Amino acid sequence: MPKISAIGVLTSGGDAPGMNAAIRAVVRTAKYYDMKVMGIRKGYEGLIHGDIYEMSARDVSDIMHRGGTILQTARSAEFKTPEGVKRAVSTARYFDIEGIIVIGGDGSFRGARELCAEGMPSVGVPGTIDNDISCTEYTIGFDTAINTAKDAVDKIRDTATSHERCNIIKVMGRASGSIALNVGIATGAEAILIPERGVDFTRDILEPINRGKKRNKKHFIIIVAEGVADSGDLEARIEAETGIETRTTILGYVQRGGSPTVVDRVYASRMGSYAVELLKEGMGNRIIGVAKNQIYDIDIFEGLDVPYTIREDLIDLSKILSI
Ligand code: F6P
């Protein structure tokens, strides 16, 4: 592939803390190599409609520590159509963009794959709090999100102890239990409900609570991933079957905001910079990933076909430690 000297960068899908650090790394690395870099606002929507501007190294000053994304983000219905993709590519060419870096999650990468298929070299940088992209061990935003959730659960634990209550805390993650599993382990939850495992009320809730009661536990923390079906009646059912007063907290969008942790800033910096290096050498059609703390890249078509798995070892660990 010929070398590339003008690139575009966009953020797409749900925002994630650390996206700004990734944008900064893309812009600064491109400028370091004297490449032209165009910021595309509001994801694929902005690409289709030409909401695009040239960025300088100074445009990304003072953003590393901010949550959200300075380029903003959107979920574009138009881009899901073949006409939308064609329009996006012709707009990119109009702005002399030769390659695009897409910072986002699984859905955004499927969009990047469409761009590649239409002849626009693209590179995906994983940015989603869900950590649910199969071809990478890490996605930007996950560490900040689980730390935010951990802080909230620690606070809820204080009041749970005072009142000897059971507290259900619902965390984000779409169809993945990754946030729930990690937050559950980090906060010593008695039960963690994740979609990958399905929910058996007796096995996953009644038994741990009854075991805990026998061991004189004063409170019960249950972490529920949002992808778990029918979690709505849990509170009433737990009260009815155990006699323990139960309350529910839905953490929601608080998990998507806030200043990114060092882990997210560093991964974002490494991955954003790596993406530019690839395009500079004319290597499009890639997804950036992390494996054993090393940044690597994989073909976008192959990467999106890697089957999703949850860490079974963490599920086992959570059971051992919650007795
Ligand atoms: O993908 C990130 C995420 O926050 C998921 O955890 C959640 O299911 C979804 O986005 C919510 O999306 P929206 O911002 O469209 O409500």
Q: Please, which residues have CB within 8 angstroms of residue 110's CB and are 6 or more apart in sequence?
A: 304
Whether residue 230 is predicted with pLDDT greater than 80 in this model: the reply is no
CA of 199 to the centre of ligand 1 (A): 22
CA-nearest residue for atom 12, ligand 1, is 14
CA of 283 to the centre of ligand 1 (A): 30
Same domain, 120 and 150: no
236 CB neighbour count, 10 Å cutoff: 11
Query: How many residues does the structure list for the chain?
Result: 323
233 pLDDT tier (thresholds 50, 70, 90): confident
CA-nearest residue for atom 16, ligand 1, is 14
Q: Residue 134 belongs to what domain range?
A: 6-141+260-303
Structurally, the chain folds into a number of domains equal to 2
Q: Euclidean distance between the first and final Cα of the chain, in Å?
A: 57
Domain annotation covers residue 316: no
322 pLDDT tier (thresholds 50, 70, 90): confident
34 CB neighbour count, 10 Å cutoff: 7
Lowest mean pLDDT among 1-5, 115-119, 199-203, 228-232: 228-232
Per-residue confidence (pLDDT) for residue 50, from 0 to 100: 98
179 pLDDT tier (thresholds 50, 70, 90): very high
Query: Across-strand partners of 247?
Result: 167
Average the pLDDT over 106-112 and give the result.
96
Q: Give the pLDDT confidence of 239-295 residue by residue, as tens digits.
A: 999 999 999 999 999 999 999 999 999 999 999 999 999 999 999 999 999 999 999
Q: Are 26 and 56 in contact (CB under 8 A)?
A: no
Whether residue 82 is predicted with pLDDT greater than 90 in this model: the reply is yes
Mean of the per-residue pLDDT values of the chain: 96
Q: Please, which residues have CB within 8 angstroms of residue 192's CB and are 6 or more apart in sequence?
A: 177, 180, 181, 184, 185, 222, 223, 225, 315, 318
Whether residue 220 is predicted with pLDDT greater than 70 in this model: the reply is yes
Same domain, 98 and 240: no
The sign of the torsion formed by the CA atoms of 267, 269, 272, 278 equals: negative
207, HSE (Cβ side, Cα atoms, 13 Å): 10
Catalytic site positions: 130
CA-nearest residue for atom 10, ligand 1, is 14
The two structure tokens encoding residue 92: 């990119």
CA-nearest residue for atom 1, ligand 1, is 14
81 pLDDT tier (thresholds 50, 70, 90): very high
Same domain, 34 and 58: yes
Per-residue confidence (pLDDT) for residue 89, from 0 to 100: 98
Q: Are 11 and 104 in contact (CB under 8 A)?
A: yes
Nearest Cα to Cα of residue 300 among 176, 95, 118: 118
The two structure tokens encoding residue 47: 């690409």
7 pLDDT tier (thresholds 50, 70, 90): very high
Q: Are 219 and 157 in contact (CB under 8 A)?
A: yes
Same domain, 110 and 159: no
Q: Tell me if residue 215 falls in helix, strand or coil.
A: coil
Q: Please, which residues have CB within 8 angstroms of residue 20's CB and are 6 or more apart in sequence?
A: 60, 63, 64, 66, 67, 68, 69, 70, 260, 268
- Give the C-alpha separation, 118 to 77, whole Å: 18
CA of 180 to the centre of ligand 1 (A): 14
Q: Please, which residues have CB within 8 angstroms of residue 184's CB and are 6 or more apart in sequence?
A: 191, 192, 223, 318
Radius of gyration of the chain (CA): 22
For position 273, which CATH number holds?
3.40.50.450
Residues with CB under 6 A from ligand 1: 14, 105, 128-130, 172-174, 226, 256
Average the pLDDT over 27-42 and give the result.
98
Q: Are 149 and 255 in contact (CB under 8 A)?
A: yes
260 CB neighbour count, 10 Å cutoff: 27
The residue type of 109 is F
Domain annotation covers residue 309: no
CA of 31 to the centre of ligand 1 (A): 32
- Give the C-alpha separation, 131 to 18, whole Å: 13
For position 164, which CATH number holds?
3.40.50.460
Share of the chain above pLDDT 70, in %: 98
Average the pLDDT over 93-112 and give the result.
97
The residue type of 305 is D
The DSSP letter of residue 312 is: H
Same domain, 14 and 130: yes
Same domain, 114 and 35: yes
- Measured from the Cα of 255, ligand 1's closest atom is 4
